[in-house]
Amino acid sequence: MTDNRATLRARLDAAVGSAQVLTAESDVLPYVTDWRGRFHGRALAVVRPGSTDEVADVVRICAELRVPIVAQGGNTGQCGGATPDAEGNAIVLSLARMNRVRAVDPDNATLTAEAGVPLAAVQQAAADSGLLFPLSLAAEGSCTIGGNLSTNAGGTAVLRFGNARELVLGIEVVLADGRIWNGLRGLRKDNTGYDLKQLFIGAEGTLGIVTAAVLKLYPAPRARVTALAAVPDVASSVRLLRDLRAALGDRVTGFELMSALSMAIARKHHPGSPDPCPGHPWYALIQADDTLVDSPLPAQVELALGAALESGVALDATIAQSVEQAHTLWALRENIAEAQRREGPNIKHDISLPVSAIPRFVDEARDALSAALPGIRFVTFGHLGDGNLHYNLAGPEGTDQGAFMANARQANRIVHDLVAAHGGSISAEHGIGQLKREELTRYKSATEMDLMRKVKAALDPAGVLNPGKVL
Amino acid sequence: MTDNRATLRARLDAAVGSAQVLTAESDVLPYVTDWRGRFHGRALAVVRPGSTDEVADVVRICAELRVPIVAQGGNTGQCGGATPDAEGNAIVLSLARMNRVRAVDPDNATLTAEAGVPLAAVQQAAADSGLLFPLSLAAEGSCTIGGNLSTNAGGTAVLRFGNARELVLGIEVVLADGRIWNGLRGLRKDNTGYDLKQLFIGAEGTLGIVTAAVLKLYPAPRARVTALAAVPDVASSVRLLRDLRAALGDRVTGFELMSALSMAIARKHHPGSPDPCPGHPWYALIQADDTLVDSPLPAQVELALGAALESGVALDATIAQSVEQAHTLWALRENIAEAQRREGPNIKHDISLPVSAIPRFVDEARDALSAALPGIRFVTFGHLGDGNLHYNLAGPEGTDQGAFMANARQANRIVHDLVAAHGGSISAEHGIGQLKREELTRYKSATEMDLMRKVKAALDPAGVLNPGKVL
């Protein structure tokens, strides 16, 4: 073992330079603890290659020595997918140094970025060419595009633009045996055989390591309208979404649902936050964008919300009159996660359902959970337009929130069983990682699990890529 | 062998009823000849199951008896992917009887259709709910949604909506061993493991048989503008596309390029066709759609085209003033294929390139082909917005067009080598089938071919599904 480690170290040093092979505990620590602080692993080393060839060298070395490889981008995952286990036999392969935007092609509306480019830098490079890269999520300052693709990230613009998967034309991947597959095609139509890139997107580093990607860019929006509407119940929020899409079409780029309690918690921990439409049980945060010159969008949004107020679908509404006001409205939504953290632990669920099933799910889950855990509080919010709820549960007011976490297993079972019954997903956008492996086998059919294992065995027969994750 | 056939026949009869097992030569013939009349195969039988369970039964029987299965939808493929080989050992499995729209869910903006539903019927069912299913292509009256997914069909709305792959949320598949994988999820976000549906979409029936799908619907357009612009060269058409997208954003849903010769042939064989902007070398057919109530789109298109005329990017332009005029303009484009057929055989290429590379490709290909085959004529048209050209070659005027086809191999090599040099694809939207298998191995890297073979071996180890296609 010691010999093996010495061999590994010497070969890694030769491959990427010893300065890029971190082994001191303090150097390694940030890479073996996940962002939420739930998972603490160990690693033989953190290896930071600077090029695709170096990644390939590192993977080849590890494959030969049977050393597990945990690929890591910005380490902002929610499910421990980029954190090694406690055995300490793996290396963390950080893509952070591969941070070049290789090309921007405005005529083709594409951008080629290495895996370690932060999402915000991709957005900026697109904007510098007058175009839009629409993927947007809370961690965009520190997460990387490689991690976004490996987890098929979602975020706030999925309603209009789809998940990360839909924003990719081609990828470059280092395979489990160290070969490089150059699939960096910038083509909008390419039907030459199986679409292999789809295997690696969303596979959380278990089938290959994404080192670069050709991304789709879009016309930049010229008009943006942000509004908040109060609604009497969840069914009305679904109706409002449908009515707005009927009136505004696909100009509706975001539609976020928030319960009154979610917003109250956000306001409590972020003093100075406004309370624009007070006194209602549910709120919808609406964003509409238009790429058209001289867009009539603002007037149209006003008309559509007016109609919703008249029909009783909405009870109150406000439209941001400035960019600053728009930010304030979005802050109400974006502050919920941080406010929750300060409020005390929550039993969290990142679920999705057919949009049409959400009202019944919310009712049924409330009844079942209230019966099982009297006094339980519902911190429900999320991307309703995508059917994605962050369905989080807090203990009864005034009780020990930490102690309430002991109910997690029971609550998860109630929530996930109902999600499954409604044809939903137990992980809408955060992935599986190590957090939800057990749940996955519970809710996936035996056939689907078998297919996944066959794919894994075909692409990583020795099991060196991120073992213990997803499958 | 005879025993085996009798066993097969008896078991198929029991599985689907003898009326749905066709063996008489005249009954079988339409299923074993491809739409273009290029491929003529033979089959033990044509089997027409009426349900997913029956498909599973048929596949299980064939898997046990090692009988190859060629799945077929509307039999409108361009590459012989649904035509069995001449050995006559295979069955054709027709999905035509599985033609139910199982559900439309307007709140979720989804539609669930069985594989055999014709594309036009899917479009109609969406329209009946006030929504849009955007996939649109020439064969839409007879092709089926199952075939569209199995070939990842493209068509005329890819610029805005993507290929068939991007219009699918979930699928149901019968696997090579006859198991059914129910992946019919109607979720816009679902990150629970590998996205297995991606394997079957575009695999041309070689990895599984798609029996149903949950499709995405979109807000229906309310304003539609169709225009024709004459441009001095291909580079100007790329510039016009970029300028229009800058002005109109993603309202630009179609952008078709046509050479003067393509349009002249279309007019020659379709008497009464207009010649709206006569005397120019290249034309762009532009479609813009808006889902917004009271859209200012028509005025904006006029402004944008006015600017293009002023800057010299366009030389002439006309905007359809009625739905009828719009159809007339589209007919100029749509009639090219049929007119070509009447004009005599062509050496055809369905290629794609980065949009930015198209002007250079067109120049270089013209020079190389003219040098190799003096007098050759270029019938160039296609979906420029997607980088997809139907790059077809006709023999010198007045010569025997049939004899010219003897140059196909030489011309293909010149065209495909140049496509590869520019990072393009030798099959943009028509797939591989049996037509382009040899070309595929020439242009794909050994690594990519190896990955595809590994996937095939993992999912269809006995090789019963559509052998001799794609790989």
Interface contact flag, B187 A248, Cβ < 8 Å: no
Interface contact flag, B388 A188, Cβ < 8 Å: yes
Q: How does pLDDT run across A100-133, given as a tens digit for each residue?
A: 999 999 999 999 999 999 999 999 999 999 999 9
pLDDT band at B2 (very low <50, low <70, confident <90, very high): low
* DSSP character string of A128-152: HTTEE---B-TTTTT-BHHHHHHTT
Residues of B with CB below 8 A from A59's CB? none
Mean pLDDT across the stretch B389-402? 93
Interface contact flag, A425 B451, Cβ < 8 Å: no
Residues of A with CB below 8 A from B424's CB? 187
Number of A/B CB contacts below 8 angstroms equals 291
Residue of A nearest to B160 (CA): A218
Q: Are B260 and B280 in contact (CB under 8 A)?
A: yes
Interface contact flag, A452 B183, Cβ < 8 Å: no
**Polymer length of chain A:** 471
Q: Are B156 and B136 in contact (CB under 8 A)?
A: yes
User: Which residue out of A163, A188, A440 would a mutagenesis test of the B interface target, given it has the greatest number of B Cβ atoms within 10 Å?
Assistant: A188
User: Residue B397 burial (CB < 10 Å; 0-12/13-18/19+)?
Assistant: exposed
Closest among A93, A101, A76, A80 to A174, alpha carbons compared: A93
Among A344-348, B280-284, B317-321, name the one with the lowest average pLDDT. Answer: A344-348
Mean pLDDT across the stretch A209-223? 96
Residues of B with CB below 8 A from A193's CB? 432, 440, 444, 448, 452, 470-471
Average pLDDT along chain B = 96
Residues of B with CB below 8 A from A356's CB? 105-108
Confidence at residue B292, expressed as pLDDT on a 0 to 100 scale: 84
- Answer left, alpha or beta for residue A337, where phi above 0 means left and psi between -120 and 50 means alpha: alpha
CB contact set of B289 (below 8 Å; sequence gap of 6+): B160, B221, B223, B224, B225, B251, B253, B297
- Decide which of B216 and A157 is more confident: B216
Confidence at residue B434, expressed as pLDDT on a 0 to 100 scale: 97
Residue of A nearest to B220 (CA): A249
Residues of A with CB below 8 A from B420's CB? none
Closest among A82, A218, A53, A221 to A148, alpha carbons compared: A82
Residues of B with CB below 8 A from A78's CB? none
Interface contact flag, B191 A427, Cβ < 8 Å: yes
Paired strand residues for B210: B173
What's the ipTM?
Answer: 0.96
Mean pLDDT across the stretch A230-252? 95
Nearest C-alpha of chain B: how many angstroms from A382? 12
Interface contact flag, A203 B221, Cβ < 8 Å: no
Nearest C-alpha of chain A: how many angstroms from B301? 10
Residue of A nearest to B425 (CA): A190
CA distance A246 to B290: 12
Q: How does pLDDT run across A309-326, given as a tens digit for each residue?
A: 999 999 999 999 999 999
Q: How does pLDDT run across B70-104, given as a tens digit for each residue?
A: 999 999 999 999 999 999 999 999 999 999 999 99
Name the pairing type of β-strands B91-94 and A180-183. Answer: unpaired
Interface contact flag, A198 B193, Cβ < 8 Å: no
Confidence at residue A4, expressed as pLDDT on a 0 to 100 scale: 84
Structure tokens at A108: 């083709």
Q: How does pLDDT run across B220-279, given as a tens digit for each residue?
A: 999 999 999 999 999 999 999 999 999 998 899 999 999 999 999 999 999 999 999 999
- Helix H or strand E encompassing B278: none
Structure tokens at A266: 């956000």
CA distance B462 to B458: 10
Q: How does pLDDT run across B190-221, given as a tens digit for each residue?
A: 999 999 999 999 999 999 999 999 999 999 99
* Minimum-distance CB partner of A246 among B219, B245, B424: B219
Residues of A with CB below 8 A from B107's CB? 238, 242, 354-356
Residue of A nearest to B214 (CA): A354
